[in-house]
A and B are shown apart, each in its own frame.
Chain A
């Protein structure tokens, strides 16, 4: 028996506009870029909704009705849910319809798709709780399995997730942790013994990255071919974890590549093999026993070939920006100013630090990765200016607070 576990990541950050030094102290609208460019969050959401979220959701609803055996799971960031609630209610309704099929599991994550797990246990906990609450509100369910931002994982993080009561955690089946072992089994964390689902990155990336690549030996990837690859795992594995960004469907792989036709044909092809079935992460934990323990002291992720944290904190500007934003935690929380707290948290979204990455850019190849800014340096300056403004607001709060206190003392 090989069980196929699909999990799709759905996320859109609040991108920072070109917030200049001239804006600091003048206004604090960091995220409201108005021109129709890749910094306009609403414009991007509308664009991706049309190309991906609406057609992909419609297709999955159809497939779930047609195949009652089909199961899929999603992780939707809190900032994504907020944006569709405010700007794309149709997309929200289609996710609600997906959940209503009973064949869809929703996973837990941090509300702000942040790196809080690496900097502050308290903030990490708060954001997970905030995410639970919006998922409950908008989708009516309570997640039981946790996936961290960009599948970032370490022994320390999993210990905390266990304390919070989650059933299992999802991460990357990185070569350097698995070595000779197969990702196609359930594992568990060495200390906390929490079950771990590991992404089969080869098969996942065949769809997510290579589907339309003409230089790839697997091209063209058809549903019968892919189903055959998966079925071949029967006997040598129990579980095939296919984890990818949901934007794969229609946004990264355009409609014209045939990605939707591929997806539509895939469940039928997989079910032709009697030993295949579909499973959600929490069902995995109920059905399978962990095959081995894994100790992962250094954080891993699903990003790039390195599968480490270098996409978000390998250079001096990323490190400085991260240290500075998290250094403000106690002051921001003391202020009890909700807008300040929200802005501070939106500035924690991992994408901001990703845009400052220079590791690919170092060879002068700008086109290797997506960046809505002209350069990582521009991304940093906009971010640094927001931080400067945020700090001004904090100072102002403190002055107001002490004025109130002295007024109270005098009266």
Chain B
């Protein structure tokens, strides 16, 4: 069996364009790359019509069997956002997020029985329950893939004990754990007591996009008038450090008044950030275009002069790699996993507003610096492929299958 194709049962999250963040992109990138050598059944929760409990759909030209299970679970769901989904939904859903996690896990059993996989692979805690149930039903090994922990999502403050317990339960039940970075691996060792030997690091990849160059670029007038553009892309939540971005923006403007700042994304801190920009007296130079994807996001990358990711705690962080593929110089938080694979970018502590200011101003002031960072950054990001991640995953599968 060793080295040959495996039957993989994967519990993941919605692919682009239905995703709301990097988790869906990661699921898409990894599963499509894996599917070229392995037989993949991809299960995801999705809100379906009342009459459907399961839905089987085709996925492009790749031979992935995608199975949707009727559920209100969504990537990045938390206790509060779940309550909001529940209020607007009819159906036999769990009364709390944790109840829904439990309900979803029992729903996946028949799929597991039918597929009889060689290995089970579950992405993040919301699907760990499903992974455990499938493992119990088939007696096959489980790989738990960690894209973020409760410590990242809450920025370290107000960790929810129930969520933590569920995460820990999944990690302990798993035969092997994949962490998206060494940064995340050390969180799992320190905060979850998982033995380092059981954890492998598989860095995420980035999908090369196919730009449509015919589109006109946003903010073109600003560019014509000599403004420089500083870009933030991410969910506007405590984890991503949007407040540090705005405070840095204020500092940068004192050196370079002809700069505009774009905060692309949505999230529970969006309103607070709009208020903060007013308080700081910089609202004239900040734009909040909301959540963008596809061509719109691509055009934004095209006009940016520098990309900043000031995350408080970022297990990986794919967006800087996307920016680099588009030739944009990046400044990233040292508290991020992607820092482990980026050599052609600036790194700063997320709280070090002075240093981020220094770096942004340095990049914006120097054409030669932008030029060399753009060239080398593209090269740096290009080698970070999903194929590489999938190959590493496949090796882990083989080892786990052999030793189980």
The reply to whether B346 and A384 contact each other, CB–CB distance below 8 Å, is no
Asked if B403 lies at the interface with its beta carbon under 8 angstroms from chain A, I say: no
Q: How far is the CA of A319 from the CA of B372 in the complex (A)?
A: 11
Count, chain B residues at interface, CB 8 A: 25
The reply to whether B347 and A377 contact each other, CB–CB distance below 8 Å, is no
Please indicate which of the listed interface residues B344, B358, B373 has the most CB atoms of chain A within 10 Å of its own CB.
Answer: B358
Query: A339-378 interface mask toward B, CB cutoff 8 Å, 1 = contact, 0 = none?
Result: 0000000000000000000100110101000000011011
The reply to whether B383 and A377 contact each other, CB–CB distance below 8 Å, is no
B366 proximity list for chain A (CB < 8 A): 317, 320, 380, 384
The reply to whether A364 and B383 contact each other, CB–CB distance below 8 Å, is yes
Query: B358-386 interface mask toward A, CB cutoff 8 Å, 1 = contact, 0 = none?
Result: 11011101101101110010011001000
The reply to whether A384 and B362 contact each other, CB–CB distance below 8 Å, is yes
Q: How far is the CA of A408 from the CA of B282 in the complex (A)?
A: 47
Given known contacts A20-B355, A375-B346, A319 and B361 CB-to-CB distance under 8 angstroms: no
Q: How far is the CA of A315 from the CA of B374 in the complex (A)?
A: 12
Asked if A241 lies at the interface with its beta carbon under 8 angstroms from chain B, I say: no
Asked if B85 lies at the interface with its beta carbon under 8 angstroms from chain A, I say: no
The reply to whether B357 and A358 contact each other, CB–CB distance below 8 Å, is no
Asked if A21 lies at the interface with its beta carbon under 8 angstroms from chain B, I say: yes
Asked if B275 lies at the interface with its beta carbon under 8 angstroms from chain A, I say: no
Q: How far is the CA of A375 from the CA of B331 in the complex (A)?
A: 12
Please indicate which of the listed interface residues A20, A21, A22, A361 has the most CB atoms of chain B within 10 Å of its own CB.
Answer: A21
Q: How far is the CA of A164 from the CA of B362 in the complex (A)?
A: 41
Asked if A316 lies at the interface with its beta carbon under 8 angstroms from chain B, I say: yes
Query: Out of B362, B363, B372, which one reaches A316, CB within 8 Å?
Result: B372
Asked if A381 lies at the interface with its beta carbon under 8 angstroms from chain B, I say: yes
Query: Out of B354, B355, B372, which one reaches A358, CB within 8 Å?
Result: B372
- The main secondary structure of chain B at its interface with chain A is helix
Residue of B nearest to A19 (CB): B358
Given known contacts A378-B346, A384-B366, A317 and B372 CB-to-CB distance under 8 angstroms: yes
B369 proximity list for chain A (CB < 8 A): 316-317, 377, 380-381, 384
Q: How far is the CA of A381 from the CA of B345 in the complex (A)?
A: 12
- The main secondary structure of chain A at its interface with chain B is helix
The reply to whether B358 and A20 contact each other, CB–CB distance below 8 Å, is yes
A319 proximity list for chain B (CB < 8 A): 368
Asked if B255 lies at the interface with its beta carbon under 8 angstroms from chain A, I say: yes
Q: How far is the CA of A319 from the CA of B369 in the complex (A)?
A: 11
Asked if A83 lies at the interface with its beta carbon under 8 angstroms from chain B, I say: no
The reply to whether A21 and B372 contact each other, CB–CB distance below 8 Å, is no
The reply to whether B372 and A22 contact each other, CB–CB distance below 8 Å, is no
Asked if A77 lies at the interface with its beta carbon under 8 angstroms from chain B, I say: no
The reply to whether A381 and B358 contact each other, CB–CB distance below 8 Å, is yes
Count, chain A residues at interface, CB 8 A: 21
* Residues 222 to 256 of chain B near chain A (Cβ within 8 Å): 255
Given known contacts A374-B347, A377-B346, A362 and B379 CB-to-CB distance under 8 angstroms: yes
How many Å from the CB of A374 to the closest CB on chain B? 7
Asked if A248 lies at the interface with its beta carbon under 8 angstroms from chain B, I say: no
Asked if B343 lies at the interface with its beta carbon under 8 angstroms from chain A, I say: yes
Asked if A188 lies at the interface with its beta carbon under 8 angstroms from chain B, I say: no
The reply to whether B376 and A316 contact each other, CB–CB distance below 8 Å, is no
Q: How far is the CA of A375 from the CA of B361 in the complex (A)?
A: 17
Q: How far is the CA of A385 from the CA of B366 in the complex (A)?
A: 11
Q: How far is the CA of A364 from the CA of B371 in the complex (A)?
A: 18
Query: B314-355 interface mask toward A, CB cutoff 8 Å, 1 = contact, 0 = none?
Result: 000000000000000000000000000001111100000011
How many Å from the CB of A362 to the closest CB on chain B? 6
Query: A1-38 interface mask toward B, CB cutoff 8 Å, 1 = contact, 0 = none?
Result: 00000000000000000001110000000000000000
The reply to whether B357 and A375 contact each other, CB–CB distance below 8 Å, is no
Given known contacts A362-B379, A364-B380, A380-B366, A375 and B358 CB-to-CB distance under 8 angstroms: no
A362 proximity list for chain B (CB < 8 A): 376, 379
Q: How far is the CA of A138 from the CA of B59 in the complex (A)?
A: 78
How many Å from the CB of B213 to the closest CB on chain A? 25
B358 proximity list for chain A (CB < 8 A): 20-22, 381, 385
Having A361-B376, A380-B366, one finds 12 other A-B pairs with CB under 8 Å, namely A20-B355, A21-B361, A316-B369, A316-B372, A317-B369, A375-B347, A377-B369, A378-B346, A381-B359, A384-B362, A384-B369, A385-B362
Q: Which residues of B contact A (CB under 8 A)?
A: 255, 343-347, 354-355, 357-359, 361-363, 365-366, 368-369, 371-373, 376, 379-380, 383
User: What are 25 A-B residue pairs whose CB atoms fall within 8 Å in the complex?
Assistant: A20-B357, A22-B354, A22-B357, A315-B372, A316-B369, A317-B366, A317-B368, A317-B369, A317-B372, A320-B366, A362-B379, A364-B344, A364-B380, A375-B343, A375-B345, A375-B346, A377-B345, A377-B346, A377-B369, A380-B366, A380-B369, A381-B359, A381-B363, A384-B362, A385-B358
Which 9 pairs show the lowest CB-CB distances between chains A and B? Answer: A381-B362, A316-B368, A20-B358, A320-B368, A21-B361, A21-B358, A364-B343, A316-B372, A317-B368
